[in-house]
Amino acid sequence: MLRTSTSQPSQNQDTEQGQNTAQSMAKERRRTILVLALVVIETLLVMSALVPAQFWTRFLPNSTSAALDGPFPPVIAPIITFLLYIFPTVIGFLCPRWQKALFYATLPAWFGLGVFLVAATFKIGPFYLVSADHVVANVSLLELFAALGALGWLGRFILKSK
């Protein structure tokens, strides 16, 4: 009788732990999908921001603000700038480890700069990447995204520790 009564709560605890594990795995999966979606959106925003203004004026000749705002209407251009800053922070906040936070926050910048540099190399030449002013600008963009991702992760860490 004693053995039966103690094994019953143990089975219930195992069932509850299994459900908690399944729920936490589903939650982690949803968080990972959200982070990857934000990375894709951020990559598209970064790539559209790295396109030279001359391209947008040729591509959108009827737009009076194409040189300044790119493909976005002037009304939402400030929102796009806000998103460029907030997405790396949110990505960092959603990541459980700081390594992932920095990687996912800087991935759009790495990809966007890579595509831009390859395109610029075809037009300008192979030494475009190593000229002093371009190296500083590229590193500054990567540092900015890394700092924003780190701030997001740090915010998560502080909120989680309370």
Name the residue among 108, 102, 99, 82 with its Cα closest to residue 149: 102
Q: How far is CA 151 from CA 39, 61, 79, 91, in A?
A: 16, 40, 20, 10
pLDDT tens per residue across span 95-152: 999 999 999 999 999 998 888 888 777 777 777 767 777 778 788 889 999 999 999 9
**Higher-pLDDT residue of 160, 34:** 34
pLDDT tens per residue across span 39-92: 999 999 998 888 776 777 776 677 776 666 677 777 888 898 899 999 999 999
Name the residue among 117, 112, 121, 122 with its Cα closest to residue 144: 112
Q: What is the mean pLDDT of residues 24-39?
A: 93
Per-residue pLDDT, 24: 85
Question: 160 pLDDT band (50/70/90 cuts)?
Answer: confident
Domain count, the chain: 1
Has residue 156 been placed in a domain?
yes
Has residue 6 been placed in a domain?
no
Judged against a pLDDT cut of 80, whether residue 30 lies above it is answered with yes
Judged against a pLDDT cut of 60, whether residue 8 lies above it is answered with no
Helix, strand or coil, per DSSP, at residue 121: helix
Judged against a pLDDT cut of 70, whether residue 2 lies above it is answered with no
Has residue 65 been placed in a domain?
yes
Domain region containing 127: 40-161
Positive or negative, the CA dihedral 8, 9, 14, 18 is: positive
Has residue 2 been placed in a domain?
no
**Higher-pLDDT residue of 119, 30:** 30
Has residue 70 been placed in a domain?
yes
Has residue 96 been placed in a domain?
yes
Has residue 18 been placed in a domain?
no
Helix, strand or coil, per DSSP, at residue 96: coil
Per-residue pLDDT, 73: 77
Q: What is the mean pLDDT of residues 2-10?
A: 52
DSSP string, 37-82: HHHHHHHHHHHHHHS-HHHHHHHSTT-TTHHHHTTS-TTTHHHHHH
Provide the terminal-to-terminal Cα distance of the chain, rounded to the nearest Å: 44
d(CA 114, CA 94): 25
| Residue 35 · residue 90 · CB < 8 Å | no
**Burial bucket for residue 126 (CB in 10 Å: 0-12, 13-18, 19+):** exposed
Q: How far is CA 103 from CA 39, 63, 134, in A?
A: 10, 36, 22
Judged against a pLDDT cut of 60, whether residue 6 lies above it is answered with no
Has residue 10 been placed in a domain?
no
